[in-house]
Amino acid sequence: MTRIYLDNASTTPVAPEIVAEMMPFFEERFGNASSIHAYGQVARNALELAREELAKEIGAKPSEVFFASSGTEADNLAIKGVAFAFLGKPIHIISSALEHKAVLESLEWLRKKFGVAIDFVAHDANGRLDLDDLKRKIRPNETRLISIMHANNELGNINPIKDIAAIAKAHGVLFHCDAVQSAGKLPLNVEELGADLMTISGHKFHAPKGIGAIYVRTGTPMESLLHGGTHERNRRASTENVAFGVALAKALKLANACLDETNARVLSLRNAFLDALRNEGVPFALNGDQENCLPHILNLSFPIPPSRKLASDVLLLALDAEGVAVSNGSACASGAEKPSHVLLALGKSEPEAKASARVSFSKFNALDEVAEAARRFANALKRLL
């Protein structure tokens, strides 16, 4: 049985040209970028060129771009780093209950450990944010940060980031945008978006796992979380991962160069999959905002009777047995006792959330794959419906 991978919102395969780009830094250019000898300077030059390239792709200055180990680390640095910069003063942060756990758990930790006040902006049943509610929740002289993702990793919803940034700026509040799921899928220009901080992760757009980056606008107050060296201009102490930094910049450049072409292809795959599901007679409902959404993510609920009492991963395992890899939501929460926190926040019951799946495509998927995946979906669901 040929296996079909439709979980690209969790991670993507590393593109062959990106592997080739990295290889010299595992071999002859292996030096430590902090060393002053020739080996180190070769590595340093490559890292700084990658920083310049990455900055260009997001409309930033190279001095505002910092490499990290992941989107999770970058989100933690953005949220905790800003909060720590205001310790000793009232701190209030506004976010959304639909954010990635890297944001939500950072906020909860700040609440428990430091008494930071947290509010979540209201949303409707499709996950669309209520910006009037956002304005109402801002506290003069207390709200320090608004953290809202560019595009939802489970639903695919694209949030009105420019409007949110304008609200933040009008009230003198910093704005952090988690762009992990949108990088390589949507144009990212920090000036146009209005972000003070923005985070990305390479493995979402065909770079390797273990590399991310954070943009920090010049003058933004933010404390470091890692100490032990002057790396990344004192923002993040740790020996630089040169090979992966080079890969991150190259992968984003390649993704941005063919955004329209890739999105059109992925949208055709999405539509073909939905058509094939319908032709197979599979009943389903779409979750999320279907008007403003990323083309590569589908979140589907199936009318599996609550009497079946599905465990969180039963549907996914049934599909995996058919050779189709999908997810129920963020891979970071895989194996959790409860189903997707995003679907629960939309008002789904636990049985409804457990009877849902996120299907996500990439440019490496083929039309014949998605038709076959729909047929296998039908086979799996026949045993559960």
286 φ, ψ to 5°?
A: -90, 135
Q: Which of 206, 149, 145 is nearest to 182 (CA)?
A: 149
Which residue in 177, 258, 293, 332 is the catalytic one?
332
Question: How many other C-beta atoms lie within 10 A of the C-beta of residue 118?
Answer: 15
The packing angle between helices 367-382 and 314-321, to 10°, is 120
Q: Phi and psi at residue 64, in whole multiples of 5°?
A: -100, 5
Asked about 332 being catalytic, the answer comes back as yes
Q: Which amino acid is at 47?
A: L
Chain centroid to Cα 25, Å, comes to 27
**What is the gyration radius of the CA atoms in the chain, in angstroms?**
21
Phi/psi at 123 (nearest 5 deg)?
A: -145, 165
Structure tokens at 311: 């465990």
Query: So which residues are the catalytic ones?
Result: 332
